[in-house]
Amino acid sequence: MGRIIIFLMVYLMPGLCWAQGIQVYFSPNGGCQQAVITEIRKARQNIDIAMYYLSSREISQALVKAQKKNVQVRIVLDQGQEIEAASKSGFLIKHGFKLRYHLGFGLMHNKFAIIDGKDLITGSFNWTATAQERNEENLLIITDEETIKKYEERFNYLWNTSRPDSRNARGVEVFPAWFCATFHLFCSN
């Protein structure tokens, strides 16, 4: 009996401890959006976001509140978000956020955020009302340090290979979005 207990402790406990470092959410209406907002509210230093589609008013407002608490927020979006009417990119720019847009030929289809280098939010869940209310989506919050380091490396790559927003803080284009996208230039304000 003692050998079985030792076996269980040595071989199964590490897996159980790792699994405890993951929170799982599903949508529609399964708490994904609230989980994202809760994580944003916990931020004290920085938030790095790589998001294909960000149109959630509630999440955008939580980001503004985090920034007002001196949390550094960096956001990389798919370049289509620069001109998408429902995108909150313009709202965030008006609140002083520095956004960058992916330059690649394919979609920047990532959906993740790193909070203070300690919590990783990822999954299929786009930060949109549709994802929250209608779509079948999933969201994971992971606290594993090695996994977070890999995502931090990827975020830094995306940040460094993306171009700044082509509008100034008032939403007026410095360079037309089509020009920057067509010629893959680092247009800056």
Which one is predicted more confidently, 174 or 159?
159
Other beta carbons less than 10 A from residue 27's beta carbon: 22
- pLDDT the model gives residue 72: 97
Tens of pLDDT along 15-58?
A: 444 456 899 999 998 999 999 999 999 999 999 999 999 999 99
| Alpha carbons 128 and 84: distance in angstroms, whole number | 13
pLDDT over threshold 60, residue 171: no
- pLDDT the model gives residue 166: 66
What percentage of residues in the chain have a pLDDT greater than 90? 67
Q: What is the mean pLDDT of residues 105-127?
A: 96
pTM of the model: 0.79
pLDDT over threshold 60, residue 13: no
Q: Alpha helices of 31-72 — where are they, by DSSP H? A: 32-42, 57-68
Other beta carbons less than 10 A from residue 74's beta carbon: 18
Q: Does 109 participate in catalysis according to the annotation?
A: yes
Which residue out of 88, 111, 119, 165 is catalytically annotated?
A: 111
Other beta carbons less than 10 A from residue 54's beta carbon: 25
- pLDDT the model gives residue 15: 46
Which residue out of 42, 65, 116, 118 is catalytically annotated?
A: 116
Q: Does 102 participate in catalysis according to the annotation?
A: no
Which one is predicted more confidently, 83 or 128?
128
**Cβ proximity of 52 and 109 under 8 Å:** yes
Which residue out of 109, 149, 150, 184 is catalytically annotated?
A: 109
- pLDDT the model gives residue 131: 94
| Alpha carbons 162 and 103: distance in angstroms, whole number | 5
Q: DSSP string spanning 120-181?
A: EEESS--BSHHHHHTS-EEEEEE--HHHHHHHHHHHHHHHHTSEEPSB-TTS-BSS-HHHHH
Q: What is the mean pLDDT of residues 81-104?
A: 90
**Cβ proximity of 60 and 128 under 8 Å:** no
